[in-house]
């Protein structure tokens, strides 16, 4: 295992904030997209925390709003018409939503970095890998120092012969190597938070194992906290400490991975877990949930899961449920989960 790490880059922001404070604290975040079809309520009042150096999973199906949550943190939206309406996104106590565009630019790629599903689309095909890795660092220092940092970062992510890789073009690397290069690009400035949106979905399972091990190692060696967005419950079980389950723009359940995935309280999480297949045993395939995720521009009344819920009650269609505490650190937004809102 290499120990040179990213020692040349600025020390991780992990030490900057007072202890006990979460690194990232999202409160009542609303991000809506104005489209010709109407307002798409992609993120509709969610709260989420990531501890210093922690690993948090954000799980959901497509159309649940999990990627839009990540884009809201970075204030970068892939679609026109997307806008954060209200809420706060505090990073080490500072509300990112109140920063100027110039200040925000320093946060991106500095304190917060993001990697995506398809590494090929996020690399510029006509620039060398090294130049792209060095770029974020060069914004803060000169190119000479940036080049040295980039080579170190390429070594840290486990690319063999980093000096040679520095001069290569993206098409000369395999998919797994490209994702390593993208991770080097994201971590060259020593971010305190790495947001990874389906980082291994496009990769083969043996390469996925390599990348997940790399992310775990970066956490350990650099203290980089991880917000991992995925649809794969197995990846969450193996990588994360805390999990948030998202459905139709809302967090429906959250808590320690050992609680939520072992004794899920929300019928949606229960459905996901009941339908989860595993290499450990030949489970009968059961389709617990009928239908699909609702259209975010045309949401059901009350609890958004009620049309698909096997345990639906009269109340569910009328009133959206608040979050109830169901166990130590575990919350579920479901009327079945008790009388006392958390």
Partner 1 sequence: MILEGIGLSKRFPWGRSLTGVRAWVRALEGATLQVAEGETLALVGESGSGKTTAGRILAGIEVPTAGQVLFRGRHVAGSMGAAPRTGGASRRDYRLGVQMVFQESQASLNPRKTVGQTLDVALAARGMAPARRREAAARLLAEVGMEPVGTFLARFPHQLSGGQRQRVNVARALSTEPAVIIADEPVSALDLSVRAQILVLMERLQKQHRVAYLFISHDLAVVRSVAQRVAVMYLGRIVEEGRTEQVFATPLHPYTVALLSATPIPDPRRARLRSRIILPGDVPSPVSPPPGCPFHPRCPVAAEICGREFPPLLETGEGQKALCHFAGTLAPGASAPGRG
164: contact with partner 1 by CB under 8 A: no
How far is the C-alpha of 316 from the C-alpha of 308, rounded, in Å? 11
Among 293, 296, 331, 337, binds partner 1 (CB under 8 A): 293
How far is the C-alpha of 306 from the C-alpha of 247, rounded, in Å? 11
2: contact with partner 1 by CB under 8 A: no
Of 6-14, 30-38, 146-154, 204-212, the segment contacting partner 1 by CB under 8 A is 204-212
Looking at residues 33 to 72 of the shown chain, list those that interact with partner 1 (rule: CB under 8 A): 61-62
Other beta carbons within 10 Å of 199: 29
278: contact with partner 1 by CB under 8 A: yes
Nearer to partner 1, 87 or 170 (CB): 170
292: contact with partner 1 by CB under 8 A: yes
**Cα-Cα-Cα-Cα dihedral of 274, 279, 280, 285, to 10°?**
30
By the 8 A CB rule, do 317 and 301 touch?
yes
179: contact with partner 1 by CB under 8 A: no
- Residues touching partner 1, count (CB under 8 A): 51
Give percent helix, percent strand, percent coil of the chain, each to the nearest 5.
35, 25, 40
3-state DSSP assignment of residue 212: helix
Of 37-45, 91-99, 123-131, 235-243, the segment contacting partner 1 by CB under 8 A is 235-243
281: contact with partner 1 by CB under 8 A: yes
Among 58, 257, 296, 326, binds partner 1 (CB under 8 A): 257
Query: What is the DSSP-derived secondary structure letter of residue 49?
Result: E
Query: What is the DSSP-derived secondary structure letter of residue 122?
Result: G
How far is the C-alpha of 140 from the C-alpha of 150, rounded, in Å? 13
How far is the C-alpha of 55 from the C-alpha of 238, rounded, in Å? 11
Among 223, 275, 307, 320, binds partner 1 (CB under 8 A): 275
Among 126, 282, 328, 339, binds partner 1 (CB under 8 A): 282
Integer CA distances (angstroms), 185 to 96, 108, 132, 201, 305, in order: 22, 12, 7, 19, 39
Among 234, 322, 329, 341, binds partner 1 (CB under 8 A): 234
172: contact with partner 1 by CB under 8 A: no
Nearer to partner 1, 126 or 282 (CB): 282
Among 47, 88, 128, 210, binds partner 1 (CB under 8 A): 210
- How does strand 82-91 pair with strand 94-95? antiparallel
231: contact with partner 1 by CB under 8 A: yes
């Amino acid at each position: 295992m290499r120990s040179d790490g990213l020692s040349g880059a600025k020390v991780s922001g992990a030490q900057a904030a007072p202890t006990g404070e979460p690194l990232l604290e999202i409160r009542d975040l609303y991000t809506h997209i104005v489209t010709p079809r109407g307002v798409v309520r992609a993120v509709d009042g969610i709260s989420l925390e990531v501890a210093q150096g922690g690993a948090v999973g954000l799980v959901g199906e497509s159309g649940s709003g999990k990627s839009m949550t990540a884009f809201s943190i970075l204030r970068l939206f892939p679609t026109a018409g997307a806008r954060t309406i209200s809420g706060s996104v505090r990073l080490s106590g500072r509300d990112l939503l109140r920063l100027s565009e110039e200040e925000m630019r320093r946060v991106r790629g500095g304190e917060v970095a993001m990697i995506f599903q398809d590494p090929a689309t996020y690399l510029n095909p006509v620039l060398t890998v090294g130049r792209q890795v060095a770029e974020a660092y060069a914004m803060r220092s000169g190119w000479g120092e940036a080049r040295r940092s980039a080579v170190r970062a390429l070594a840290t992510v486990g690319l063999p012969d980093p000096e040679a890789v520095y001069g290569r073009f993206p098409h000369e690397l395999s998919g797994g190597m490209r994702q390593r290069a993208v991770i080097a690009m994201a971590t060259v400035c020593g971010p305190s938070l790495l947001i990874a949106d389906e980082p291994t979905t496009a990769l083969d399972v043996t390469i996925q194992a390599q990348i997940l091990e790399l992310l775990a190692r970066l956490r350990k060696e650099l203290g980089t906290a991880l917000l991992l967005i995925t649809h794969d419950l197995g990846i969450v079980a193996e990588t994360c400490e805390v999990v948030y389950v998202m459905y139709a723009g809302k967090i429906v359940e959250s808590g320690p991975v050992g609680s939520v995935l072992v004794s899920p309280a929300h019928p949606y999480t229960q459905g996901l877990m009941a339908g989860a297949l595993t290499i450990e045993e030949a489970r009968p395939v059961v389709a617990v949930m009928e239908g699909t995720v609702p259209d975010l521009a045309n949401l059901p009344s009350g609890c958004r899961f009620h049309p698909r819920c096997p345990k639906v009650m009269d109340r569910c269609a009328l009133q959206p449920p608040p979050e109830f505490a169901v166990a130590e650190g575990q919350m579920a937004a479901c009327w079945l989960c008790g009388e006392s809102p958390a």
